[in-house]
Structure 1
Amino acid sequence: MKKLIILSTILISMLSCGINKKPEFLKVENINVVDSNSEFIILSADAFFNNPNTVSGYLKTDSLKVLVNNLEVANISSKKFKVPAKQEFSIPLQANIPTKRILNLNNLSSLLDSYLNKTVKVQYLGTISYQVYGFSHTYSVNEIQDVKIKL
């Protein structure tokens, strides 16, 4: 009888704090040029999620590509990020883009267009992984935003 009560208690506690749904990917926003010099252009952005579960987990970005004017210029990878339980949260994304990757001759027409319009098209493309206990889920990211540049 004692074993049955202990087993029931363990099962009830495990089921009550389970994973109801996967965290919901909301958007990528706040894409900004943080710094630019002759060697690098540093872009930052925030990926927003909502975790409806009562348990926390971890997010990790692997090979999230950054495209500027349809030209792949950088990859973003990050350490595991702790996901808070039952709330909306964001993870920071930062990309160091070598200036040489943007200023090549193959990209001359899009550079001229960006110079005239004073904007560049920045696209984040790839996946973000969520892990908790033995459960994992991959989110597809494909966000495009026009970023104003200062000349």
Structure 2
Amino acid sequence: MKKLIILSTILLALISCAVREQPEFLGVEHIKIEEYSKKQITINAKALFKNPNNIGGKLITNDLIVYVNDNKVATVKAATFDVPAKKDFTIPLTTTIPTDSLLKGRNLTSIIGSLLTKDLKVQYIGNIEYKVLGFSKTYNIDKTEHIKIKL
């Protein structure tokens, strides 16, 4: 009888903590230039998610590539993010772009055009992966935003 009660308790705990739905990717927002210098430009953005599950998980953002004016300039480097249970949450996407990568060949022409129009096209393309209890889901990201340049 004691074993049956323990087994029932474990099964009830597993069922109540099950991943019933995958977290919902809501989008990428607040893309902006955080700081700039002669050596580098730092761009920040936030990926928005909603987790309807009673348990969290982990998000991995190793495959996001940043394009500026349709030119690949950097890859987002972020630590693994712990997903909270039953909550809306954001993960920061910070990218540091060396200015010398913007000033090469075709990039230079597009940057000069951006300076004249005071508009910079920033695009995030890649994947964010969610993992929990052996379950995995990959979210495809393709977000473009035009940032106004203040001189």
Matched, 1:33 2:33: yes
Runs of 4 or more, structure 1, over 2 Å off, are none
Q: How many residues align?
A: 151
The more displaced of 130-139 and 81-90 is 130-139
C-alpha deviations, 1:11-63, integer Å up to 9, x for none?
11110111011111101111111111111011001110000000011111112
**What amino acid sits opposite 2:135 in the alignment?**
F
- After TM superposition, give the deviation of residue 3 of structure 1 in Å: 1.8
Identify the residue that residue 54 of structure 1 maps to in structure 2.
54
**What amino acid sits opposite 1:104 in the alignment?**
K
Identify the residue that residue 96 of structure 1 maps to in structure 2.
96
Structure 1 distance, partners of 2:44, 2:15, is 39
Structure 1 distance, partners of 2:96, 2:9, is 51
C-alpha deviations, 1:104-150, integer Å up to 9, x for none?
22224322321221011000011111111211111111000001112
Identify the residue that residue 74 of structure 1 maps to in structure 2.
74
What is the aligned-residue RMSD (CA, Å)?
Answer: 1.1
Q: Superposition pairs for residues 1-150 of structure 1, below 5 Å? A: 1-150=1-150
**TM-score w.r.t. length of structure 2:** 0.95
SS of residue paired to 1:19? coil
List runs of 5+ in structure 2 lacking aligned partners. none
Structure 2 distance, partners of 1:17, 1:111, is 50
- Identical amino acids, percent of aligned pairs: 48
**What amino acid sits opposite 1:105 in the alignment?**
G
The more displaced of 75-84 and 65-74 is 75-84
Structure 2 distance, partners of 1:117, 1:69, is 12
SS of residue paired to 1:63? coil
Structure 2 distance, partners of 1:108, 1:79, is 31
